[in-house]
Structure 1
Amino acid sequence: MDPVLSLKDVQPTPFWLDDPARPQAHSALVGDARCDLLVVGGGYSGLWTALIAKERDPSLDVVLIEGKEVGWAASGRNGGFCAASLTHGLGNGLDRWPDELERLEHLGAKNLQAIEDSVRRYGIDCDWERTGEIDVATEPYQLNDLHELAELAKKFGADCEVLDTDAMRAQVNSPTYLGGFWDKDGVAMVNPAKLAWGLKQACLDQGVRIFEHTVATDIAESGTGMAVRTTYGRVFARRVALGTNVFPSLVRRVRPYVVPVYDYALMTEPLSAEQLASIGWQNRQGLGDSANQFHYYRLSADNRILWGGYDAIYNFGGKVRAEYDQRPQTNRTLATHFFQTFPQLEGLRFTHAWGGAIDTCTRFSAFFDTAYQGKVAYAAGYTGLGVGATRFGAEVMLDLLGGEQTERTALEMVRRKPLPFPPEPVRWAGIELTKWSLDRADHNAGRRNLWLKTLDRLGLGFDS
């Protein structure tokens, strides 16, 4: 069967957001408001910041504003992989912060557990499953990399297992699999939109005032605090936390550090019992293959398969636009690769196709800082691993706004920022050359060309 036939009835909308239980949006802010802490952005970053601020000090008056609806952007359309890693994986962390990687791993594990504890404490119904993730080898050269990753992970106390071909196919059955590395405890699967909506309700229950359809357009000092101009008014706050991530920061000097890279995903119809039996997957782990241009995939609560990744698209000029959320040529590519991986599922159809922008920075993991003499804090640059790490980023922003010296603020990862991206057209040319080089490496047993080696030496280290 031609894989494109599986897209015949696909809906161009994020599966997670296509939910009758989606909560009603709150009214926009009209006129002026005053508060102790203003949080800008209603994704995970902003929601965690508002919630933790109230947990630390219930008397704090916290306002959260969101330009559209809570969870509509990356937080409601990602794959739902909630990872402990704060560094975009052990390899990236070892390359950049070898002296503090043990501490970062400890903080990451503690952060993931805190998310799970919050899900339970606030009764958030988000299909939370602590099933782990398997990195899959589909080419012989990738097996050595997985063994090296396992040795490194075990040094940091990870609960993990290396799977040979038979053991891998006993977990999930595909003729393309040669082996795998199963991180059993460091990743949870979650319905990302339900997590965002649950955090929204938790914030409301703790007394956070939330205004949706309220775009922040400008920020300036006002007396001893800050004033943020919005669609229909202003908010005067003693402190401001910016959780806008991929969208242009109100602090203009931050903008060169982040570019929007578009990622795409498909969701299948629910698998029958026979179809599910044909691939196994009884332990419901998240999966990702080990190429530079990789796929990530997982089961939903109703046994659909989310299949995403591979293409990572940067559009010249670095704009975030609704028309970029759909890319039919990528849908065709993803569908083709899906049936190459699971030929036994021929005839299965996709019901949803969507994309979204990832806040990418040159070190692949979040960076942090303050502005306006410490009255404004921001975190950005999560590069696709923000479902878990945004909670850590919220803690960092609150530490910085409070002027606190903590274990988090002492980290080199927190104290230093990545290299900014160059202006156009150099930015676009550099990203395109990097993508081409990564594709070449995937088709050349992983061997990195001169361009990639140069980036490695400069500390840019594009590896995915």
Structure 2
Amino acid sequence: MDPLKALADAERKPYWLDSPARPEPQPRLIGHTTADLVVVGGGFSGLWTALMAKERDPSLDVVLLEGRRIGWAATGRNGGFCMATLTHGLHNGLERWPEEIDTLERMGVENLDEIEQTVRRYGIDCSFERTGELSVATEQWQLDGLTEYLDVIDEHGLDYEFLDRDQVRAQVDSPTYLGALWDRAGGAMVDPARLAWGLREACLSLGVRIHERSPVRSMHDDGTSLTLRTPHGSATGARVALATGVFPPLLRRLKHFVVPVYDYALMTEPLSPDQMAAIGWHNRQGIGDAANQFHYYRLTDDNRILWGGYDAVYYNGGFIKPEYDQRDATFVKLAGHFYETFPQLSEARFTHRWGGVIDTCSRFSAFFGQAHGGRLAYAVGYTGMGVGATRFGANVMLDLLSGEPTARTQLRMVREKPVPFPPEPLRSGVIQFTRWSIAQADQHEGRRNLWLRTLDRMGLGFDS
């Protein structure tokens, strides 16, 4: 089908949020309140922080402030890949923290196990499926890279399975597939909006006070506590957890480490039984291809296909604007790639198209820290892998605020900061040249130019 025709009726909104299950917002903060802990941000990071603070200490008074609606930003518009990795993949973790990688991998799987237990404990209906993820090769250089990685996987005792061309096509049938690695234990597929809404209800059930449509405009430190001001009120907390992602931070220092990158996705109509039979996909794994500019895709519970990725767009100047959430050139490109991957679905149409900003840092995984004499903690920079890892980050923030060292806070990954980005306009030039170089690598059998090799040597290499 022609991509323009296939997109003609697609709604310009995130599929997950376009649901009658979306709850009515909690009231705005009006007037002044106090709390033991104030959480800023109602995405996964803030929700997990508030929930686990009450689970650790039910007597704690916790207030959560969200500027718009719970889950409205990156939390409600991502692909729903809830992965075990805390380091944006094994390769990135090995490059940066080789001496800790086994610990980080173990902690990541434990974190994913605990997410699954939380979903069950609170009865959260979010279509949680522990299916794992396929990393598929569509070019010979990608297949060579996957096979070379098998020794690393074996060395670290990870539950990956290599699939040759026939084996992967028996799992999911695309003529583009040459082979794959199946990470069996390291991932689950979820409906991210319903997970966020379920966490919201769990927080409320434990006594967390949630105020939506209450953006924090400023913060004041009186030496013993922090006061956060919203348009119609204020909240004073003995401790503050900052979970605002890429949006303008209350801590100015963070703007040097985080840049806004836009990601885009499509959702198909539900596939018919015949269409499902044509592609297989009986084990319902999440899928990502092994290119530098990669696609990610998965099935929903009613057998739609979410298809996203490839274009990761940085707008010069680092501005965040609502109009950037829609990018028709990318939607048409994604639709064309979809039909190349699944020609047997040539009659499938798209019902939704959307995009949005994610927080990226130079190490491509979250970093952590404190300010205001230890009364404030933050976690930021997840780079699109935050559905699972934000729970770990929430635990780190709570550990830091407690003042007691833990196995998490002793990690070098937690103690170190990423390399800051240069100021504008140099920042835009560096990022755009790096994006161009990555695209060139994909077009030249993965060969990285001098610029990318230099970044690799500096520990700043980016390949996903």
How does 1:290-301 map onto structure 2 within 5 Å?
A: 290-301=290-301
Q: Higher mean Cα deviation, 50-59 or 149-158?
A: 149-158
Letter of the structure 1 residue corresponding to residue 14 of structure 2: P
- Partners of 1:60 and 1:149 in 2: CA distance: 46
- Partners of 1:417 and 1:411 in 2: CA distance: 12
**1:117 to 2:141 alignment:** no
Question: Secondary structure at 2:99's aligned position in 1?
Answer: helix
- 2:336 corresponds in structure 1 to 336
- 2:447 corresponds in structure 1 to 447
- 2:365 corresponds in structure 1 to 365
TM-score (norm 2): 0.99
Letter of the structure 2 residue corresponding to residue 55 of structure 1: E
- 1:141 corresponds in structure 2 to 141
- Partners of 1:147 and 1:92 in 2: CA distance: 17
1:244-290: CA deviations, max 9, x gaps?
01111101111111011000000000000000000000000000001
- Partners of 1:443 and 1:87 in 2: CA distance: 27
Q: Higher mean Cα deviation, 215-224 or 67-76?
A: 215-224
Q: Higher mean Cα deviation, 222-231 or 297-306?
A: 222-231
How does 1:91-240 map onto structure 2 within 5 Å?
A: 91-240=91-240
Question: Secondary structure at 2:217's aligned position in 1?
Answer: strand
CA drift of 1:84 comes to 0.4
CA drift of 1:414 comes to 0.4
Equivalenced residue count is: 464
- Partners of 2:382 and 2:320 in 1: CA distance: 16
Letter of the structure 2 residue corresponding to residue 10 of structure 1: A
- 1:350 corresponds in structure 2 to 350
**1:381 to 2:381 alignment:** yes
- 2:279 corresponds in structure 1 to 279
Q: Higher mean Cα deviation, 199-208 or 150-159?
A: 150-159
- Partners of 2:148 and 2:221 in 1: CA distance: 51
- Partners of 1:233 and 1:10 in 2: CA distance: 39
- Partners of 1:268 and 1:349 in 2: CA distance: 6
CA drift of 1:154 comes to 2.9
- 2:87 corresponds in structure 1 to 87
- 2:4 corresponds in structure 1 to 4
Question: Secondary structure at 1:87's aligned position in 2?
Answer: coil
Question: Secondary structure at 1:98's aligned position in 2?
Answer: coil
- 2:403 corresponds in structure 1 to 403
CA drift of 1:358 comes to 1.0
Contact 1:358 1:384 in 2 (8 A): yes
**1:458 to 2:447 alignment:** no
Letter of the structure 1 residue corresponding to residue 23 of structure 2: P
Contact 1:28 1:213 in 2 (8 A): yes
- Partners of 2:441 and 2:154 in 1: CA distance: 27
CA drift of 1:149 comes to 2.9
Question: Secondary structure at 1:70's aligned position in 2?
Answer: coil
- 2:318 corresponds in structure 1 to 318
Question: Secondary structure at 2:149's aligned position in 1?
Answer: helix
- Partners of 1:257 and 1:99 in 2: CA distance: 24
- Partners of 2:457 and 2:430 in 1: CA distance: 16
Q: Higher mean Cα deviation, 417-426 or 299-308?
A: 417-426
1:56-98: CA deviations, max 9, x gaps?
0000000000000000000000000000000011110000000
- Partners of 2:76 and 2:312 in 1: CA distance: 18
- Partners of 1:138 and 1:83 in 2: CA distance: 22
- 1:243 corresponds in structure 2 to 243
- Partners of 1:370 and 1:305 in 2: CA distance: 40
- Partners of 1:316 and 1:304 in 2: CA distance: 34
- Partners of 2:150 and 2:121 in 1: CA distance: 33
Structure 2, unpaired ranges of 5+: none
- Partners of 1:87 and 1:121 in 2: CA distance: 27
- Partners of 1:90 and 1:174 in 2: CA distance: 26
Question: Secondary structure at 2:250's aligned position in 1?
Answer: coil
- 1:430 corresponds in structure 2 to 430
Contact 1:79 1:297 in 2 (8 A): yes
- Partners of 2:42 and 2:27 in 1: CA distance: 14
Question: Secondary structure at 1:234's aligned position in 2?
Answer: strand
CA drift of 1:321 comes to 1.7
- Partners of 2:116 and 2:41 in 1: CA distance: 22
- 1:419 corresponds in structure 2 to 419
Q: Which runs of 4+ in 1 moved over 4 A?
A: none
Q: Higher mean Cα deviation, 192-201 or 148-157?
A: 148-157
- 1:25 corresponds in structure 2 to 25
Contact 1:85 1:109 in 2 (8 A): yes
**1:69 to 2:69 alignment:** yes
CA drift of 1:223 comes to 4.3
Contact 1:105 1:156 in 2 (8 A): no
- 2:48 corresponds in structure 1 to 48
